[in-house]
Structure 1
Amino acid sequence: MKTYNLSLEPDPEIPRLQMLSVDVVEVPIVDVLQRGIHPVWTFEDPATLQEAFVERLNAVDVKIPHLEQLDYCGNVDALAQARYYQGKSPFQQLVEHLNHGLRFVSNLTYVDLLNIAREQLRKRWNRQTAYRMLSASHRDFDAMRSLVKAKDKRVKISGYADFDNYDLSEILSLDDFADHEQVLIREGLPVINFRTTDFLQRVVDNQGRLRLAERIPNFTLVHPPQMVYLRDSLLYYGEWRQGTVHLHPDLGRALSVRPKARELAQKWRTGEGEYCFTTTPARVDEMLASGDFRVAFPSLDYRRDRQPAKAQASIPGCRVDRYSVGGYLRENAAMGQFKDILREFGVSMSGRKEDLVEKIAQLAVTEYEQHEGELDAFFGDHRFVRIRTGSQETGRPFPVLENHLLRNMLLAMYVQKHLRANTILEADYSNETYDPLDLARALLQRNITIHGAFLPAN
């Protein structure tokens, strides 16, 4: 396991100003799990690492009040869409980015800042520096020319290009800009954005290791350690709990990985468990050092609480079939459908639609009486329980009257008559509320509907 080690080092030009420095160092996994040391496990970083780090950098209590009032403690931003590049992770790139525009100071007053700026300007006082100071402190050409001519009446300046004809560092001095303190600071310092050096203690432990959370108890291990998850890969969900690491393999439906899971549990466990097992952080370090596992922290999120995924395992061959009454003819069906059925049973197809509906009802009663014995035999051997009454709950067809044109209609009539307490479907119970013809009419007219799925009860 690795982590980031942060420290402050003096600015090469101005040692009193300090910059961030970052290195990658080894860390035992127990310090990640128990103490919240940030884990570095891949070339990339969690997206929220930069956000959380910058959020702490922008906190009020790490800014310097008297400098913030002068706008010398501006907010900083995270890098947008940073990726691993030229051997540097996004976080390492963030540190570089911050060092271009931010310094850390201790007990620095505004007067100190001004004196440092003056000292830096004196060190590099030349014609270019003098011209930058002149143009930054005087907004227009006339003001710039007036200052230069006030210092040396011999100069002749009629346009901006004429300033290049003179070495302004010999005409002007730093004292000429004493009243332009903000210009002195802006031109004299490499950056003008500051934080207190106390910030570092907010984001590292006593060894300088990056720490933005109290604990990081959840992780995953993949065996073998390829970056691509293979068919026979084993994924373990790990959790640090009460001083012990609990490892649960995600077995899913694949039977092929289970012997390997038993083998790994036997090799690395410190307690019991054929598949799921407990072990120590030191043993997890050994697992990683063996080269047989790859560690990751997919639920690590510094901005919001994310619940880790859970391991799953399927039990093969365990299935309960469910059944339902399929769709049957209703009065709103097209006349052609009624005629097709009547034709098959040799019943007259003449009359209006309501006449055809009545003929179907009478036909259903006739067919029901003919096949009631077959239905009694099937449901006498098979009891069912209705599990839901929602119209969307369906199942496979009951395996009876499979070639009958009015199969579902007859099943609907039977279920309605033999459904006890609206739940138990059995042949020995009979509801005499409807006679067969009234029941057939009610089903056709949608006064009664049969919903839900049925599970075998024996």
Structure 2
Amino acid sequence: MKTYHLSFQPDPVVPRFLQLAVGRVDIPAADVFEKGVHPIWNFEDPSTLQEAFVERLNSPDVKLPHLEQLGYCENADAITQARYYQGKSPFEQLVEHLNHGVRFVSHLTYVELLDLAKQRLRATWDRKVAYTLLGATHPDFDAKRSFVKARDKRVKISGYADFDNYDLSEILSLDDFADHEQVLIREGLPVVNFRSTDFLLRVTDEQGRLRLADRIPNFTLVHPPQTTYLRDSILYQGECRQGVIHLHPDIGKALSTRSKAREIAERWRTGGGQYCFRTTPARVDEMLTTEQFRIAFPSLDYRKKREPGKAQAAVPGCRVDRYSVGNYLRENAAVNTFKDVLRGFGVSLTGRKEELVEKLAHLAARQYEEKAPELDDYFGENRFVRIKGGNHETGRPFPILENHLLRHMLLAMYVQKHLRGNTVLEAGYSNDTFDTLDLARALIQRNITLNGAFLPVV
């Protein structure tokens, strides 16, 4: 990571005055997290960086009280809507902007300020400087002409163009403007807005690195390090607490990123953790060196407290299968349906429908007695509880007797005989209210019904 390094350099016109110089230097991640050194992490700076920097520049404690009273410590402004331009970040542009209007001094009295202005005016004295001072002190034509003629009565001036006929630097002297001290200061010096050099102590650490906060503990890491957050990206929410880095991946619902998150945790953790893990600031530096991660500080705000983002991971949907008894034959079914079933077991198909229904009941009773051991084995190993919601259309069929023509009838009979308390289905319980034949008749004739679904007991 890098940060801005700030220092002073002499003004090229008045070396006693200092202006800001800015550069970029490498910094360890620990100095950001634990010491608050400002991090550079992309082409743009947080908008509050400029605001906070200028706010400190305009603070009364870095202004010179005796000069402020005279109007030489005016507030500076930030750059509005600054963008990365010609290789310079918004903050670097801000420094350039401030260098056009602010100078820094360790100490400066008004007398010294005036003397510096006079020195420079004398050093640059010529007809242009003389005319500038004349115009600044005597704005209208008559006043200008009277002032010049008072110094040399031979001068003949009837219009503005006549001033060009004379070298005013030979007619006028700097002492002629001695009563106009503010004009001399304004015209003699390139910048007349001052701050104490103590300002740098308010915005940098002992190494001159930009620092506007005590700590910057929250950050994000993105893998891979593209500038656009893509679907296969892993976003880590990071926080430094007491010198330990805590990284939490935001893996949402994307199961495809979880194996990658496990690999990253295994590679960079210093303790346990399959997805979320702890590491050190030094290892964060190593992670950035691999160029497989991009760091950012989206919650960094120098004006107000902002809550950092929260990592999220969706728990995969948890499904519990529910089972139900399928639709079995009842007396309202078509005659041919009864015949199809009876035919499958070689039962005679003669007789009225009532007789066919009775034949089906006897067939079901015999088949039940034959399949009861198989049913006991299955329900002995698999216990179920009944719930009211559900029916044969919403539940899965029990995975037994799958090719039997009377599968659903036999299961309905078994459930009715082994449902304890109308809730728990278990092989070890038996309800002897009906014998097998009567139970088959009751189900076919709809004297008893079976509703609800069954959940497995784990």
Query: Structure 1 length normalisation: TM-score?
Result: 0.70
Partner of 2:134: 134
Between the aligned partners of 1:399 and 1:176, the Cα distance in structure 2 is: 110
Q: Where in structure 2 are the equivalents of 1:123-162 lying within 5 Å? A: 123-162=123-162
SS in 1 for 2:299: coil
SS in 2 for 1:22: strand
Between the aligned partners of 1:399 and 1:76, the Cα distance in structure 2 is: 77
Between the aligned partners of 2:243 and 2:121, the Cα distance in structure 1 is: 58
Shift of 1:103: 0.1
Shift of 1:17: 0.3
Between the aligned partners of 1:112 and 1:280, the Cα distance in structure 2 is: 53
One-letter code of the match for 2:29?
Answer: I
Shift of 1:400: 12
Partner of 1:106: 106
Partner of 1:309: 309
Partner of 1:220: 220
Residue 266 (structure 2) pairs with residue 266 (structure 1):
yes
SS in 2 for 1:256: helix
Aligned residues: 334
Partner of 2:329: none
Between the aligned partners of 1:263 and 1:62, the Cα distance in structure 2 is: 51
Shift of 1:162: 1.4
Whichever of the two has the greater Rg, that structure is: 2
5+ residue gaps, structure 1 = 321-379, 385-397, 403-426, 429-455
One-letter code of the match for 1:259?
Answer: S
Task: Output one character per residue of 1:116-174: Cα deviation in whole Å (capped at 9) or x when no partner.
Answer: 00001011111111000000011221111111101111111112221111111111000
Q: Are residues 297 and 319 of structure 1, via their aligned partners in 2, closer, same or farther at CA, if it must alter by over 3 Å?
A: farther
Shift of 1:231: 1.2
Task: Output one character per residue of 1:67-110: Cα deviation in whole Å (capped at 9) or x when no partner.
Answer: 00111100011100000000000000000000001000111000
Q: Are residues 140 and 304 of structure 1, via their aligned partners in 2, closer, same or farther at CA, if it must alter by over 3 Å?
A: same
SS in 2 for 1:235: strand
Between the aligned partners of 2:263 and 2:100, the Cα distance in structure 1 is: 52
Q: Are residues 260 and 162 of structure 1, via their aligned partners in 2, closer, same or farther at CA, if it must alter by over 3 Å?
A: same
Cα RMSD (Å): 2.1
Partner of 1:46: 46
Partner of 2:251: 251
SS in 2 for 1:257: helix
SS in 2 for 1:246: strand
One-letter code of the match for 1:203?
Answer: V
5+ residue gaps, structure 2 = 321-384, 395-421, 424-454
SS in 1 for 2:32: helix
Partner of 1:373: none
Between the aligned partners of 1:124 and 1:230, the Cα distance in structure 2 is: 62
Partner of 2:73: 73
Partner of 2:207: 207
Q: Where in structure 2 are the equivalents of 1:279-358 lying within 5 Å? A: 279-318=279-318
Between the aligned partners of 1:129 and 1:245, the Cα distance in structure 2 is: 63
Q: Which runs of 4+ in 1 moved over 3 A?
A: 380-384, 398-402
SS in 2 for 1:9: strand
Between the aligned partners of 2:391 and 2:41, the Cα distance in structure 1 is: 56
Shift of 1:318: 3.5
One-letter code of the match for 1:198?
Answer: D
One-letter code of the match for 1:130?
Answer: A
One-letter code of the match for 2:295?
Answer: V
Moved more, 28-37 or 227-236: 227-236
One-letter code of the match for 2:276?
Answer: C
Task: Output one character per residue of 1:214-255: Cα deviation in whole Å (capped at 9) or x when no partner.
Answer: 000000000111111111111111100011000000010000
One-letter code of the match for 1:286?
Answer: E
Residue 12 (structure 2) pairs with residue 15 (structure 1):
no
One-letter code of the match for 2:291?
Answer: G
Shift of 1:11: 0.5
Between the aligned partners of 2:59 and 2:215, the Cα distance in structure 1 is: 22
Partner of 1:2: 2
One-letter code of the match for 1:275?
Answer: Y
Task: Output one character per residue of 1:325-371: Cα deviation in whole Å (capped at 9) or x when no partner.
Answer: xxxxxxxxxxxxxxxxxxxxxxxxxxxxxxxxxxxxxxxxxxxxxxx
- % identity of equivalent residues: 70
Query: Structure 2 length normalisation: TM-score?
Result: 0.70
Shift of 1:382: 3.9
Shift of 1:319: 7.3
One-letter code of the match for 1:136?
Answer: A
Between the aligned partners of 2:187 and 2:391, the Cα distance in structure 1 is: 90
Between the aligned partners of 2:62 and 2:2, the Cα distance in structure 1 is: 27
Between the aligned partners of 1:84 and 1:294, the Cα distance in structure 2 is: 19
One-letter code of the match for 1:245?
Answer: I
Task: Output one character per residue of 1:411-454: Cα deviation in whole Å (capped at 9) or x when no partner.
Answer: xxxxxxxxxxxxxxxx99xxxxxxxxxxxxxxxxxxxxxxxxxx
SS in 2 for 1:108: coil
Partner of 1:423: none
Between the aligned partners of 1:139 and 1:231, the Cα distance in structure 2 is: 68
Between the aligned partners of 1:400 and 1:134, the Cα distance in structure 2 is: 105
One-letter code of the match for 1:186?
Answer: R
Residue 182 (structure 2) pairs with residue 182 (structure 1):
yes
Between the aligned partners of 1:204 and 1:144, the Cα distance in structure 2 is: 50
Between the aligned partners of 2:255 and 2:386, the Cα distance in structure 1 is: 36
One-letter code of the match for 1:209?
Answer: R
Shift of 1:401: 13
SS in 2 for 1:191: coil
SS in 2 for 1:8: strand
Between the aligned partners of 1:204 and 1:319, the Cα distance in structure 2 is: 57
Between the aligned partners of 1:138 and 1:399, the Cα distance in structure 2 is: 103
SS in 2 for 1:163: helix
SS in 2 for 1:130: helix
